[in-house]
Amino acid sequence: MEAPSTRKIIRVVQGQSEQAERRVVEEYPLRLRVNERELATLVCSPHQLNFLLVGFFRLQGFIDSLDDILSMGVCSEYGLAELRLRTELPERLQPTLTSGCGTGISYNLPQNLLNPAQQRPRSYRSEELFRLMKELNNLTEQYRSHGGIHSAAIGDADGLLLHAEDIGRHNTLDRLAGEALFKGIDAQDKMLVTSGRISSEMVAKAARLGVGLMASRTSPTDRAIELCEQAGITMVGYLRGNSMEIYSHPQQLACPPLKGL
């Protein structure tokens, strides 16, 4: 990851002022031009843009593999990414401005993700989930140094497989999806942990990846919980230390028995 900017500040502590320096996260607008057509502007962090771009187009349903990208180039000076895809984009796109940091964009935010009849049972253990979140926390050096960066990871019972950081919560999932495609890692039935609030567009992206459990240090939205119920995804919030709250499909996560039962 590129080093963040440093700014001179005045720090006030216990009634005393002093001059200091603070590292601040970079907010990078990236224009997308696809098949010579202006598509959108992503607000993101400026590192590993290949993972971000490939994951974004994968989770929007525009590509299925790297072979679907004929060419891809990024001009960092002008903040422009130019891609040529094998297939043409739909003539009329209806973007949805999502609740992600910096306002995320989704062109394919589904109302129903999976047919309940097609869902298969999954099984996870609470100790595996706690361990995965601990691994993510140990990797979030950028947040500890200056704040403002979200992080996410995909893993399984053996530990963490992929890790991403970005100024936007939704961008971290795009980055994971892109890196998984580059490295040939299958996210089907894996666990996904994140530092930020889980909203509906994040569930939609996780469902496209085949993730079976999502967990956050903070809360999910009501719509995110509803989509997890539809998609057969176990939703966990406030995963901190050795405590958590389960919002959907608790039968898939082995936990201590309920009090009084």
The average pLDDT across 101-121 equals 55
Q: Domain locations in the chain?
A: 28-106, 116-254
Classify residue 41 by burial, with Cβ atoms within 10 Å: 0-12, 13-18, 19+: middle
Return phi, psi of residue 2, to 5°: -65, 150
Nearest Cα to Cα of residue 59 among 131, 108, 3: 108
Q: For residue 144, what are the contacts with CB-CB under 8 A and spacing of at least 6?
A: none
Lookup: tokens for 173? 């999932």
pLDDT digits (tens, 9 = 90+) for 176-211: 999 999 999 999 999 999 998 998 889 989 999 999
Phi-psi region of 49 (alpha: psi -120 to 50; beta: other; left: phi over 0): alpha
What span, in angstroms and rounded, lies between the C-alpha atoms of 232 and 184? 24
| DSSP type of residue 139 | H
From 219, 216, 210, 244, select the one nearest 125 (Cα to Cα).
244
Fold of 28-106: Ubiquitin-like (UB roll) (3.10.20)
Q: What tens digit of pLDDT does each residue of 117-137 get?
A: 566 778 999 999 999 999 999
pLDDT, mean of residues 10-14: 79
pLDDT more than 70, % of the chain? 83
Q: Whole-model pTM?
A: 0.86
Report the alpha-carbon distance of residue 34 to residue 5 in Å, rounded.
Answer: 30
Strand ranges for the chain from DSSP E:
5-13, 16-24, 28-34, 37-44, 69-75, 80-85, 96-97, 105-106, 124-125, 150-156, 159-166, 191-194, 213-216, 234-240, 243-248, 253-254
Number of C-beta neighbours around residue 26 at 10 A: 16
Residues annotated as catalytic (active site), given as ranges: 101
33 neighbors 39 (Cβ within 8 angstroms): yes
CATH architecture, range 116-254:
3-Layer(aba) Sandwich (3.40)
Q: Which residues contact 261 (CB under 8 A, 6 or more apart)?
A: none
Give pLDDT, residue 36.
93
